[in-house]
Amino acid sequence: MKTPENSMTISYWQKSEETITRDALESFQLEKLGETLRHVYANVPFYRSRCDEAGIDPSRIKSLDTIKRLPFTTSDDLRLNYPYGLLAVPKDEVVRVHTSSGTTGKPKALFFSKGDIERSANLIARCLVMTGTGKSDTLQNMMTYGLFTGALVMHYGAERVGALVIPAGPGNTDRQISLMRDFGTTAVHITPSYALYLASVLQKKGIDPGKDLNLRRAYMGAEPYSEETRKKIENLFGIDVYNSYGLTEMNGPGVAFECPYKNGMHLWEDHFLVEIINPETGEVLDEAREGELVITSLRREAMPLIRYRTRDITKILSDTCACGRTHRRISRIMGRSDDMFVVKGVNIFPQQIEQILMGIKGVAQNYQIVLESLDQLTIKVEISKDLFDGNIDHLLKLQAAITAKVRAEILVKPTIELLEPGTLPVSEGKAKRVIDIRTM
Ligand SMILES: [Zn+2]
């Protein structure tokens, strides 16, 4: 097992909860599952009829497996019940709403009670403390403030541990850099694509993050990204990068986090009950297998969700972690079952391609996958400027190397286009990596 690069002492925010024995954790989950089912049975007609149809009496929940008899809750269920259909408390008890916009149709509305805000802040605080962020830190929050949960939930958690929070929001890169310098920012909350862009701007301005900035760590989430991209960002800035996982439907960020061992994200099982399913058939899989993560909230008050399909592809890691936390981990998100695309009948996630590209010397930060037909895939890749040295052999060699490596991974031969840095559109938010121009 890897040891943390910085020899930090292990610290906890809620030690007894974070290191609870597995037996005690499972009894606690059963108790909270019963409470949650009784709560939705009494207050949400949608779940009451589902329990009745499945023959489940919420006052007699004897096993965690009982929920396997209930159907999944999907994002369509949230849209169909927009805005108040799944609310489980009187409107007076709600203190905040976040929405999650879909690509089509109605948004999803997610409600928080005072208690929900409190608990989500504590979950973020667990993450920050376990990775070394505390009172003496300055956290620059570069996620979008607003209806999206990413920034606000992190903000509350960082304040909770006593850090100074800069609510910068995303974009406006020159101002971000000034803020980082003026306030000695030690931690950032950022998307991986924006971190890569920020690194390229710093480079252009001749700013050396190791010498000219005070940055020590970054929390990254909101987009799936590869281990190679993490290493690239760690090297570019000379910092530790920690994966963070969350979704608006489950409070936003704070569902699962990496500890200093960076060996998967501890998923807070005293708040969330997890299952792994086959995204195509809905069959519950052995948890060690890769599949779609399904989450039941155990502590949400305003809007609990039962067996919610996250669409995120991952697997559960059950081996013990040297940090002492007993909550199992999930592997980095492989992709969204929605992002998966098919070429020549092969299921492909953009992250598989990213992982290869970021591991090849000479490949720069930005790339784009273009789908032209059902059997044709083009990858546009920016490469370092010094490779355009007038010697076409160097380019052909790199092109052949990328083609071979991608083909070996996804079993489809791609067309590779090499581009000078700065050719592809840059992203100050979530990157659009796959362009689908197929007409079907
Ligand atoms: Zn750990």
> What's the rounded mean pLDDT across residues 274-289?
93
Torsional class of 264: left (φ above 0), alpha (ψ -120 to 50), beta (otherwise): left
**Lowest mean pLDDT across 7-16, 35-44, 173-182:** 7-16
What percent of the chain clears pLDDT 90, i.e. is strictly above it?
70
Residue 2 has pLDDT above 80, yes or no: no
HSE-CB at 184 with a 13 A cutoff on CA atoms is: 4
**Tens-place pLDDT, residues 181-209:** 999 999 999 988 889 989 999 999 999 99
**CA 20–ligand 1 middle distance (angstroms):** 13
> What's the rounded mean pLDDT across residues 376-394?
89
**CA 277–ligand 1 middle distance (angstroms):** 24
**CA 243–ligand 1 middle distance (angstroms):** 12
**CA 41–ligand 1 middle distance (angstroms):** 36
**CA 262–ligand 1 middle distance (angstroms):** 7
Predicted pLDDT at 381? 94
**CA 340–ligand 1 middle distance (angstroms):** 29
Are 237 and 209 in contact by the 8 Å Cβ rule? The answer is: yes
Are 348 and 329 in contact by the 8 Å Cβ rule? The answer is: no
63 φ/ψ angles, rounded to the nearest 5 degrees: -145, 145
pLDDT averaged over every residue in the chain: 91
3-class DSSP state of 141:
strand
Predicted pLDDT at 1? 41
Predicted pLDDT at 422? 86
Report how many helices (DSSP H) and strands (DSSP E) the chain contains, helices first.
Answer: 12, 21
Predicted pLDDT at 437? 80
Strands (E), 198-315: 217-220, 240-247, 252-258, 265-267, 272-277, 291-297, 308-314
**Tens-place pLDDT, residues 118-141:** 999 999 999 999 999 999 999 999
Between CA 141 and CA 147, with CA 144 as vertex, the angle to 5 degrees is 130
Confidence of residue 101 (pLDDT cuts 50, 70, 90): low
Confidence of residue 338 (pLDDT cuts 50, 70, 90): confident
| Amino acid letter, residue 175 | R
Residue 7 has pLDDT above 60, yes or no: no
120 φ/ψ angles, rounded to the nearest 5 degrees: -70, -35
**CA 309–ligand 1 middle distance (angstroms):** 25
**CA 198–ligand 1 middle distance (angstroms):** 29
Confidence of residue 116 (pLDDT cuts 50, 70, 90): very high
> What's the rounded mean pLDDT across residues 85-111?
87
Residue 306 has pLDDT above 90, yes or no: yes
The crossing angle, in degrees rounded to 10, of helices 45-54 and 22-43 is 110
How far apart CA 381 and CA 134 sit, in angstroms, is 39
**CA 97–ligand 1 middle distance (angstroms):** 32
How far apart CA 40 and CA 46 sit, in angstroms, is 9
Are 244 and 265 in contact by the 8 Å Cβ rule? The answer is: yes
Cis upstream peptide for 253 (omega within 30°):
no
**CA 329–ligand 1 middle distance (angstroms):** 8
